[in-house]
Structure 1
Amino acid sequence: MEWNEKLQKIIDYIENHLQRKEEAVDNEEIAKMAGCSFDFFQKVFSYMIGISFAEYVRSRKLTLAGYDLKSTDLRIVDISYKYGYNSPTSFTKAFQQFHGVTPKEAREKNVELAVMPKMQVAEKQKFLWRLERKPSLRLIGKSIKVSCVNNEHYQKVPEFWCDCQKNGSYAKLVSLDRGNPKGMFGVFDYYDENCKELEYSIMVISDEEPPDGFTEIVLPETTWAVFDCVGVAPQSIHQGWKYLNEEWLVSYPFKHAPCPELEWYSDGNSYDTNYLSQIWIPIIEEV
């Protein structure tokens, strides 16, 4: 059985336990279904889906808890125990981090709640792409250098996004965004082959002066191959990169322009199934 099929069976098993049996998932049973150790399964899951297995299960629990708050009269304390939280306090803290409001506010107010939809691993996603000539772009943001040894950048880049959200850099960039439409860029810049290091930045289009600790880059007018990735982020954009590397580059061997590769995340709810993110690959147009 292929990994995609195994993952889909495991995801169906998780949903059955959370929604029907209302009991915790059994890691040993998951390992048996995966045909490997649970630790190795978690690594494969994280690589293929783009988030950790624990984060996926937690997000599904909080999504379902939000449904229960909106559609039932269950007490908050009962909902917290239903989804495996030891106390209403720990549940409230996790709920607020995920949804942006407390369970009480979610029930009393007409607010939109975040959603982590059930994964459909076996479903093949189609990607729309096009060539776009874009003018020079001035970007400002925060930058780091990450090691690519043993694929360490796969872990460090998401951590960098989390750090920027925690320390206020992300909110500052949102306020400086002058793009039309607005959105946040992930910039894969200079790669040092000797040190195996990549410079990665989180940036926005802006005409403002960079604040202290922020950097600025100016990208020249360039033709880009732009891939639309529709769905929950970052899973949708991970699937976009997979398609690009396994299929598109083989079928359309454009020459790479001397410019960074970009990810673009639109302004909106990244947990929405219709959320738009994009991959921009700079290319040289053949004359």
Structure 2
Amino acid sequence: MEVEIVERNAFTAVGKKRTFSVENDAQKEKISQFWQEANANGDAERINELAEFATIDGILGVCQMNGDQMDYYIAIESELTPPADMEKLTIPASKWAIFKSVGPLPNAIQKVWEYIYGEWFQTSNYTHGNAPELEVYTEGDTTAADYYSEVWIPVVEKD
């Protein structure tokens, strides 16, 4: 699997947040439902419209662990003040391992997550950094065999 390591300054994102339990991988189905709702009710389109000087090409899924809970944001890189029903979060400066995913959602990106935690961390020269994980969803047909998305993992080099 293709992995690119990049360093990036801190940036802000604006979006909607939900909190999910990660017990027994319960978050997988709930996150898919969150996206379906956001696409159906127009939230994803409203979030996308908040992009201002975005350097990340896509709408974000921001995963921030909090014990046995995960705060998950559907967000966009933006410096704008969020609408009342959305939140702003700061993504700290970090070194990122960027994993490319090609294929229909959610299966393709879930396979990338399985690779990251099932193989990559065990064999790489990196450990998890202190920042949220990002999913980057580009425009296009998310059911297509050639749909492109990314997973960004904050990393630090092993001693």
Report deviation, 1:271. 2.5
Helix, strand or coil at the partner of 2:62: strand
Report deviation, 1:198. 1.5
**Alignment match, 1:159:** 33
Q: Could you state the TM-score of these two structures normalised by the residue count of structure 2? A: 0.90
Identity fraction in percent: 27
Q: 1:243 aligns with which of 107, 110, 115?
A: 115
Q: Is 1:132 the counterpart of 2:6 in the alignment?
A: yes
| Deviation readout 1:219-254 (Å, 9 max, x if unpaired) | 122100110111222221111112212221111151
| d(CA) in 2 for partners of 1:183, 1:212 | 22
AA of the residue aligned to 1:242: E
| d(CA) in 1 for partners of 2:39, 2:84 | 17
Helix, strand or coil at the partner of 2:6: strand
**Alignment match, 2:91:** 219
TM superposition outliers: structure 1 runs of 4+ over 6 Å = none
| Deviation readout 1:133-153 (Å, 9 max, x if unpaired) | 112121010001112233321
**Alignment match, 1:255:** 127
Larger mean Cα displacement after TM superposition, 152-161 or 210-219: 152-161
| d(CA) in 2 for partners of 1:262, 1:208 | 20
**Alignment match, 1:148:** 22
| d(CA) in 1 for partners of 2:9, 2:82 | 21
AA of the residue aligned to 2:32: P
Q: Is 1:185 the counterpart of 2:55 in the alignment?
A: no
Report deviation, 1:273. 2.3
**Alignment match, 2:104:** 232
Q: Where is the strand percentage greater, Structure 1 or Structure 2? A: 2
Contact preservation (8 Å) 2:63, 2:70: yes
Helix, strand or coil at the partner of 2:140: coil
Name which structure has the greater RCO, CA cutoff 8 Å, separation 6+: 2
AA of the residue aligned to 1:188: C
| d(CA) in 2 for partners of 1:166, 1:190 | 26
Q: Could you state the TM-score of these two structures normalised by the residue count of structure 1? A: 0.52
**Alignment match, 1:202:** 74
Helix, strand or coil at the partner of 1:258: coil
| Deviation readout 1:232-284 (Å, 9 max, x if unpaired) | 22221111112212221111151221101111111222223222111111012
| d(CA) in 2 for partners of 1:155, 1:233 | 12
Q: 2:48 aligns with which of 166, 174, 178?
A: 174
Which 5+ residue runs of structure 1 have no aligned equivalent?
1-126
Q: Is 1:265 the counterpart of 2:140 in the alignment?
A: no
Report deviation, 1:209. 1.1
**Alignment match, 1:279:** 151
Larger mean Cα displacement after TM superposition, 246-255 or 129-138: 246-255
| d(CA) in 1 for partners of 2:98, 2:115 | 13
Helix, strand or coil at the partner of 1:155: helix
AA of the residue aligned to 2:118: E
| d(CA) in 1 for partners of 2:135, 2:56 | 14
Contact preservation (8 Å) 1:224, 1:281: yes
Larger mean Cα displacement after TM superposition, 198-207 or 145-154: 145-154
Contact preservation (8 Å) 1:223, 1:285: no
